[in-house]
A and B are shown apart, each in its own frame.
Chain A
Amino acid sequence: MTYLITRSISGAALALLVSTAPIAKAETPANQLVIGTSLAQVLSVDPQQGTEPKTQEILAAVYDRLVYVDEKNQLKPQLAESWTVDQTGITFKLRDAKFSSGNPVTAKDVVFSLVRLLKLNQSASSYFKNSGFSADNIETLVKAVDQKTLRIELTKATTSEDLLYRLAMGISSVVDSVEVQKHFANNDYGNEWLRTNAAGSGPYVLRRWTPNETVILEANKDYWGSAPKMVRVIMRHVPESQTARLMLEKGDIDIANALTAPDVKSFVGNAKFAIDATKVGGFYVLAMNAAREPLSKPEVREALAYGIDYKNIAATILGPYGRPRNVPVPEDWAGAIANPDWSFQPEKAKALLAKAGYPNGFSLTLKTIAQPPRVDMATAIQANLAQIGVKVEIKQGNGADIVAQHRARDFDLLIPQSAAVMPNALGALNDFVTNPDNRAEAKNAGNFVWRSDWNITEINALRDKANAEADTAKRADMVKQLQEMFIAQKPAVLPMFERFEPIVRNVNVVGYSPNLWALNRLENVTKTAKK
């Protein structure tokens, strides 16, 4: 009797567990999109401040820009209905659009946003600053002709094409000047407020942002284009890749965009999911401190280039995140030159070291952010370099630490990643060939080459010439020459792998088109019926 009672009690307990099980296996509603991502780096949704890729995804939905770059890297109109290019500048005609506050979008708002970008003087402004714009000249270069007409003058350091690409970046998002001006405090251009709030005209409005937890976007009823199909978009912070993968498999999320390489690979061949890898035009880089003893010798730098097993690292560690490439232009982009002979050749590397006067090798430290795939790359490089007699000690740290040490030139070796400022060869090269003033006093800490203390006066001069050259053929020539000079000087900023940003999406999600800066627009996303 007692036995029976116990049995039925445990039976009831089991039934309770089973009854909760269907809740655990939820599916996302048909008119909502749920993205599993990492929000750890999202610290500000102020478009003139936040430059991190996951922030761009939010900015893409909430704000509009004059133009945008589509998935084929073509420039397309967004807030600008049309534009005309002449010798000295570009004139834009704006479409009729409203901010979510109800205010109309005018040329004044665009001027306000660009002036704001340079006056705020955050990392975001560097893309305009290296095109010759500055906090001092911006107000004279950008003018509202009338309500719907805008004029931007070119500087000596940029072409109209380059300028259009910069206007397509998240940093050029158009903010609601009336709304933002209400929140000016201590001369901060409304930064304090706009850091956590939004004032845009995009297809979505920011309903809620809980840092490191969720971002909830809701369809903007006053959006100028066709109404978004997804009424709600939720970005959920799932820092653990394996967890995100489980949630994707179970249908708790529709898209995962922060998976590790092995987890992305696990979806290969699964008909229910699709993998889209965006070519961002950036690279995983081995930065060497060219001011420090052995690394100041070009032979030593080339020896290291021969001492890394690119092929196997790409195959086992990077997978969908990249492929080997030592020239800082993706190999399938127009104007790219062929890769040099730099592959894993320990004998050649040792010979080079012996020639440089280090037959017995030496010791170095390698600093890296403690995140995949970079930390795994570091471990593999450590083992590779050991084979050519270079003893490497790894120091891993969080993003803020490592970047601070990189900026302070405080490293032997370090693994940063570059990004393309434009979807063309010159844009990809930018981080590798720019260093106008290598002196320590220049404090050009935003610059990759300066951080490596690598003096490249000649290359930098050619880079400036190429950027200002409007003639396509001449420019292509210079771009080729830039790459050759870069390789010939045995770079202290050595590109190792071209970077991809893979996402995995449920195949029922259609119309999600990635952009190289992660400005992925969501208004055309639909969901087909689940099978």
Chain B
Amino acid sequence: MSAPHVSSTVAVRPRSAILSGLALVWEKLSHEPVGLIGFVFLGLLILVAALAPAIAPFDPAAQNLQAAFLPPSWAHLAGTDEFGRDILSRLIYGARITISTILSVTLIVGPIGLIIGVVSGFVGGRTDAILMRFTDIVLSFPSLILALAFAAALGAGLGTAIVAISLTSWPAIARLARAEALIVRNTDYVAAARLYGASPLRLLFLYIAPMCIPSVVVRLTLNMAGIILTAASLGFLGLGAQPPAPEWGAMISSGRKFMLDHWWVAVMPGIAILLTSLAFNLVGDTLRDLLDPRHARA
């Protein structure tokens, strides 16, 4: 797929390959205003999530039934919900849930997909056939439906939502990693290492796997928007984070009950999801354009 890019960095050591890739990204990014906005937004979001207790004006779980459904004002920038909780504070704390969901899924899916894909591509033969058949089967499962069934089977909760999403999203990574490994496997650089007597395991983890990482990272970033939406869908259906956790999807789900009279309760978390997922899409899209020559810009 991205053969030209890979072969251009073949001469250098894997670690510096990643570094130079990043440098390349940064240089090109300055010509990508939209992508840059995405990066900046994500940076801010992570900052907000990290500093939530310091930034949030109110306790996200503190109820005040007398102050329910206050419209957005200076005191409550995003209004209050049906329990009189400050929506902005809940959104800020919700960013933590969203980011930890994304990170958890990515940390599960990335290594699993990478290992299965790289092993499959490197070893080849029967192993490859079996692994890829298995991957194809999982890949062809309708993911939301399977996640629904999993969440129902394992009991509702953020943890099961993460497991359910992970179970259905590693195959895409595995396929990609395999394609990369197939190309890398035949490069001079690997052949040289082999000549020097590197063991197959060493070849696999020190020489081949690192070369596949950049494109896997791009793919993972693009996946993140999907993770947000699936997690929100599960939250919306009551199968994600449990109350009073300020999960954005669950906030929409309860807020839509008051949509006609108090629009802000459902609209605010919707905007949060939209912007975050858009930022991930922009970043992923930009990264792909920058790193994958098939999508190269002029």
Which of A's residues lie within 8 Å of B, judged by CB? Answer: 240-242, 245-246, 260, 262-263, 266, 309, 312-313, 315-317, 370, 372, 375-376, 378-380, 382-383, 393-397
Contacts and interface: CB of A to CB of B under 8 A. Distances in A.
Interface of B: 61-63, 65-66, 68, 82-83, 155-156, 238, 242-244, 254, 256-261
A266 B261 CA distance: 8
Contacts of B68: 316
Contact of A379 (B155, B156, B243): B243
Given A315-B65, A380-B63, A394 B260 contact: no
Contacts of B256: 240, 242
A316 B260 contact: no
A372 B255 CA distance: 12
Contacts of B156: 395-397
B258 A262 contact: yes
Nearest to A371: B238
A264 B61 CA distance: 27
B-side interface mostly: loop
Contacts of A380: 63, 65, 83
Contacts of A240: 256
B243 A312 contact: no
A-side interface mostly: helix
B167 to A, nearest CB: 21
18 contacts: A241-B257, A242-B256, A242-B260, A262-B82, A262-B257, A262-B258, A266-B260, A266-B261, A313-B65, A316-B68, A316-B82, A370-B238, A376-B254, A382-B243, A383-B61, A383-B63, A393-B242, A397-B156
B242 A262 contact: no
Contacts of A245: 260
B66 to A, nearest CB: 7
A365 to B, nearest CB: 10
A242 B256 CA distance: 8
Given A260-B257, A370-B238, A394 B243 contact: yes
A376 B65 contact: no
A395 B245 CA distance: 12
B260 A379 contact: no
A359 to B, nearest CB: 23
Contacts of B244: 379, 382-383, 394
A394 B242 contact: yes
Contacts of B155: 395, 397
B182 to A, nearest CB: 46
Contact of A396 (B61, B63, B238): B238
Contact of A316 (B65, B243, B259): B65
B60 to A, nearest CB: 12
Given A383-B83, A396-B156, A397-B156, A378 B243 contact: yes
A316 B80 CA distance: 13
Which of B68, B257, B261 has its CB near the most chain A CB atoms (within 10 A)?
B257
Q: Which 9 A-B pairs have the closest CB atoms?
A: A383-B63, A312-B65, A370-B238, A316-B65, A379-B243, A394-B243, A316-B68, A260-B257, A242-B260
A395 B65 contact: no
Contacts of B65: 309, 312-313, 315-317, 380
A241 B258 CA distance: 9
Contact of B82 (A315, A376, A382, A397): A376
B243 A375 contact: yes
A379 B241 CA distance: 14
Nearest to A376: B82
Nearest to A312: B65
Given A380-B63, A396-B238, 15 more contacts: A241-B257, A242-B260, A246-B260, A262-B82, A263-B257, A309-B65, A312-B65, A313-B65, A370-B238, A376-B254, A380-B65, A382-B244, A394-B243, A394-B244, A397-B156
Which of B156, B238, B260 has its CB near the most chain A CB atoms (within 10 A)?
B260
A380 B82 CA distance: 10
A262 B65 CA distance: 14
B151 to A, nearest CB: 11
B238 A379 contact: no
A287 B205 CA distance: 56
A379 B254 CA distance: 12
